[in-house]
Amino acid sequence: MSDVLLRRARLLRRGPLQDVLVAGGRIAGVGNVDDHAAVSEMIDADGRYVLPGLWDRHVHFEQWAQVRARLPLADAGSASAAARLVAAHIAAHPPATDVAVVGYGFRDALWPDAPGRELLDAQSGAVPVVLISADLHSAWLNTAALRRYGHGDDPTGLLREGAAMGVMAEVGTVSEPVIDMWCGDASSAAAARGVVGIVDMEKPWSLDAWQRRIVNGNRRLRIVSAVWPEHLEDAISRHLHTGGGVDGTYGLLTAGPLKVIIDGSLNTRTAFCHDPYPSVTGAGSEERGVLLVDLDELSRLMVRAKEAGFDCAVHAIGDAANAMVMQAFARSGARGSIEHAQLLVDSDVPRFAELGLIASVQPEHALDDRDVADHYWAGRTARAFPLRSLIDAGAVLVFGSDAPVAPLDPWLAIAAAVHRSRDERPRWHPEQEITVAEALAASMPPGRGGLSMRDGDIADLMVLDGDPFTADPRTLRTMPVAATMVSGNWTHRIGV
Ligand SMILES: [Zn+2]
């Protein structure tokens, strides 16, 4: 851990450029730092913004790492184009021994040519290749993969339904070294977006896997590892609690909250709501979604968590689910967050502040789901993703991606929250927009108290190559990050 002096950094929108001294993993001076004789590295920030690093408070990291490792095929307009993408991918990322190349997302219904094993063989040689269709109902394999997965006598290479799903299950099961390698790649990619920490909601508990990865050298992110109910007693018997560090992990790994899911999702119409969903046929419907845990059971679980020192992170999407979670927090006295909080009754908005609850939201989902919400929550969308209302009511807001549902990139969430549109369409409920400063603060640890850098802070920071406060929507989504630092160590660095 070497000392670094960042000269001429922009820390605030207005005011003079300042120097930032990093020593011993902490901010050791802000302002005009003159005494730099002992500094081992001096960097001219040249007026770039230097801000606290970003957090993603809701990630399923292994799933995200696995999705990232797959070749995207949605843009392939023909079988030969898909095969060429495979060849380019193998050339750019030579796969580790014994690892199949997996592509995802092809749509062959309107292709002018037919997918076949020879076509794929010609572009992939001895590397096993499995390409999965967008609807998950077929898989296109080359000869090496057909042999490996027990379909060596299939002449076409195109497997459907049961046979395809069997292969998909097999390629989804990878060894520890492979998943750790993919997690390493995904950690680097996150650092390159200014990310310094994540809350990992991976099921059932990612703590031991992260301890192994950190010991083996993946030290690019702080990890808060949430525990699911089936491992709560195990966690308690190991004397863990929320915020408790894990030995030998360089201060990077802590136990997270208890994660509980109590309803479904909007897309599947399983989010638990006060009002029925409009039925697909247009006729009346009584469907209000599903409730997976009742109030008594949830309260009991939360009391147990609270007694053992665990916060609770409770997944609730529908307004009725959110209301029930608030009741359970009030009853149990537990601390923590509601994850998603997508649809809220107006009178529940101020309860976040009253109960000291964190609203852990994923702004990019508002844009992913705006059409679905307009349909299934027709007449209710004024209270969907109500970020402005939450902030105005004093709620502490934190952002996440729910990767792999959305990419692990906080700038997407920030831009979605600020602009409520990512294309040429009008902004969706612009009255719920928040400011860039508010969106950045929601991407930093709750309770941090703004974007300024202070003496004694942990040196988790990022250097930007753009101005987020004046950026247009597109630039904000793709904000160039020149460098990222965690605990005084560079985890990403280009051009500074
Ligand atoms: Zn999730």
Tens of pLDDT along 73-96? 989 999 999 999 999 999 998 887
- How far, in Å, from the CA of 270 to the mean position of ligand 1? 15
- How far, in Å, from the CA of 129 to the mean position of ligand 1? 29
Tens of pLDDT along 460-473? 999 999 999 999 99
Tens of pLDDT along 332-376? 999 999 999 999 999 999 999 999 999 999 999 999 899 889 989
- How far, in Å, from the CA of 247 to the mean position of ligand 1? 27
Of 55, 59, 51, 58, the residue nearest 444 (C-alpha): 55
Asked if the peptide bond before residue 363 counts as cis, ω within 30 degrees of 0, the response is no
Cα angle at 29 between 449 and 218, to 5 degrees?
A: 75
Instruction: Output the six-digit token pair for 193.
Output: 């977006």
Partner residues linked to 55 by β-bridges: 197
The pLDDT of residue 447 is above 90:
no
Q: How far apart are CA 142 and CA 129, in angstroms?
A: 6
Provide the phi-psi class of 161: left if phi over 0, else alpha when psi is between -120 and 50, else beta.
left
Of 287, 277, 281, the residue nearest 377 (C-alpha): 277
Where exactly are the structural domains of the chain? 66-171, 182-449
- How far, in Å, from the CA of 256 to the mean position of ligand 1? 14
Between the CA of residue 1 and those of 4, 306, 489, what are the distances in Å? 9, 37, 6
Q: How far apart are CA 115 and CA 465, in angstroms?
A: 43
Q: What is the DSSP letter of 446?
A: T
pLDDT at 405: 86
- How far, in Å, from the CA of 59 to the mean position of ligand 1? 6
- How far, in Å, from the CA of 435 to the mean position of ligand 1? 25
Q: How far apart are CA 99 and CA 205, in angstroms?
A: 25
- How far, in Å, from the CA of 162 to the mean position of ligand 1? 28
Instruction: Output the six-digit token pair for 45.
Output: 């920030």
- How far, in Å, from the CA of 408 to the mean position of ligand 1? 12
The pLDDT of residue 284 is above 60:
no
Which CATH architecture fits 66-171?
Roll (3.10)
- How far, in Å, from the CA of 58 to the mean position of ligand 1? 6
- How far, in Å, from the CA of 402 to the mean position of ligand 1? 5
- How far, in Å, from the CA of 86 to the mean position of ligand 1? 30
- How far, in Å, from the CA of 67 to the mean position of ligand 1? 15
Tens of pLDDT along 121-171? 999 999 999 999 888 789 999 999 999 999 999 999 999 989 999 999 899
- How far, in Å, from the CA of 403 to the mean position of ligand 1? 7
- How far, in Å, from the CA of 476 to the mean position of ligand 1? 24
- How far, in Å, from the CA of 199 to the mean position of ligand 1? 10
pLDDT band at 1 (very low <50, low <70, confident <90, very high): low
- How far, in Å, from the CA of 464 to the mean position of ligand 1? 28
pLDDT at 60: 94
Q: How far apart are CA 53 and CA 410, in angstroms?
A: 10
- How far, in Å, from the CA of 87 to the mean position of ligand 1? 33
The pLDDT of residue 283 is above 60:
no
- How far, in Å, from the CA of 19 to the mean position of ligand 1? 39
Tens of pLDDT along 30-72? 988 766 567 889 999 999 999 999 999 999 999 999 989 899 9
- How far, in Å, from the CA of 94 to the mean position of ligand 1? 31
Q: What is the DSSP letter of 391?
A: H
- How far, in Å, from the CA of 473 to the mean position of ligand 1? 26
Partner residues linked to 358 by β-bridges: 337, 396
Q: Are 82 and 131 in contact (CB under 8 A)?
A: yes
pLDDT at 487: 96
- How far, in Å, from the CA of 268 to the mean position of ligand 1? 15
Chain centroid to Cα 404, Å, comes to 7
Q: For the full predicted model, state whether its pTM sits above 0.85.
A: yes
- How far, in Å, from the CA of 327 to the mean position of ligand 1? 22
Cα angle at 176 between 171 and 177, to 5 degrees?
A: 100
The pLDDT of residue 253 is above 90:
yes
- How far, in Å, from the CA of 201 to the mean position of ligand 1? 6
- How far, in Å, from the CA of 163 to the mean position of ligand 1? 29
- How far, in Å, from the CA of 302 to the mean position of ligand 1? 19
- How far, in Å, from the CA of 64 to the mean position of ligand 1? 11
* CATH code 3.40.50.2000 for 182-449: no
- How far, in Å, from the CA of 198 to the mean position of ligand 1? 12
- How far, in Å, from the CA of 405 to the mean position of ligand 1? 8
- How far, in Å, from the CA of 339 to the mean position of ligand 1? 8
pLDDT at 36: 56
- How far, in Å, from the CA of 261 to the mean position of ligand 1? 9
- How far, in Å, from the CA of 287 to the mean position of ligand 1? 23
Q: Are 411 and 439 in contact (CB under 8 A)?
A: no
Q: Please compute the mean of the pLDDT values over residues 189-203 and round it to a whole number.
A: 97
Q: Are 432 and 387 in contact (CB under 8 A)?
A: yes
Asked if the peptide bond before residue 350 counts as cis, ω within 30 degrees of 0, the response is no
